[in-house]
Amino acid sequence: MTPFNSLQLKDEAKKMGFSFCGISKATELTEDAYRLEYWLKANRHGQMGYMENHFEKRIDPRKLVDGAKSVITLLYNYFPEKEQNKESYKISKYAYGHDYHHTIKTKLNTLLGTMKSAVGDLHARCFVDSAPVLERAWAQRSGAGWIGKNGNLITKTQGSFFFLAEIICDVTFEYDQPMAKDYCGTCTACIDACPTEAILNQKIIDGSKCISYFTIELKNAIPDEVKGKFNDWIFGCDVCQDVCPWNRFSKPHGIKEFEPNEVILNFTKNDWNEITEDVYTLAFKNSAIKRTKFSGLKRNIEFLK
């Protein structure tokens, strides 16, 4: 069995295109448990009932993987070189290209295969925004960055336009030090810019007020009280990231799978207004935009009129 240490793991992750790889000891997230419980009791999750499920698994990775010793956090850049037609309806940048779940999960499985080849039998699971894992908490613990006032994981070198992913395994590595300092300082750019006032004090996000919640998670009609506040967003929202000063360091990803869909780049408002289900199905067959379904996207567009 070949020795496989943390430096080798990070080198392999870099070869696969990950922007960061950090490792934390698998343990219970006690402080985060209190924050999550408070957030749920305040109904900040709105109709996202799944956030109430598997509470114990969310705060303790050892309940997701038996005998877990390490949480490997990986970041994958999705900042695009090109952006949409400025006069069109808006799509969140993370959905410009192929569905990140599939693309990154494939890379995680390849990395896990490399680990297994080196260390032999191991127990592990890969996660990409698809299970009860407190991703940002683990990213902060691994030294990737800090959790900003907008609730996003922010890095000093490349901002916050990253997908977060994890491998939880029963292998012991040398662990990284957490990011101890918060570099948001007195800046309130994200709080001031949020169209629906979803960003509260003390890094608390009212998910039930977020434009991303209304345009993706909410299955019912969008409430009238937020009419006129969407600033042309029809899938997700990037306002709090776009105004963040740290994102001046964002660099284009250069990844083929995440290259922007030409429909997203070039569609006018009229094109979106007249989109048919056939065009939607063909244009977004490999896209995260499928989450809204055609009916949801049309609902979002109609709400802006």
Please give the Cα distance from 223 to 210 (Å, whole number): 12
- Are 198 and 205 in contact by the 8 Å Cβ rule? The answer is yes
Q: Count other C-beta atoms under 10 Å from residue 7's C-beta.
A: 10
Please give the Cα distance from 158 to 259 (Å, whole number): 18
Catalytic amino acids?
129
- Strands (E) across the chain are located at 20-25, 70-77, 90-91, 124-127, 146-147, 153-154, 162-169, 233-235
| Percent of residues in the chain assigned helix, strand, coil, to nearest 5 | 40, 15, 45
Which amino acid would we find at residue 238?
A: D
From the number of C-beta atoms within 10 Å of its C-beta (0-12, 13-18, 19+), residue 127 rates as buried
Q: Provide the β-strand partners of residue 124.
A: 169
- Are 85 and 264 in contact by the 8 Å Cβ rule? The answer is no
Q: Which residue is it, tokens 């985060």? A: 32
Residues in the chain: 305
Please give the Cα distance from 20 to 13 (Å, whole number): 8
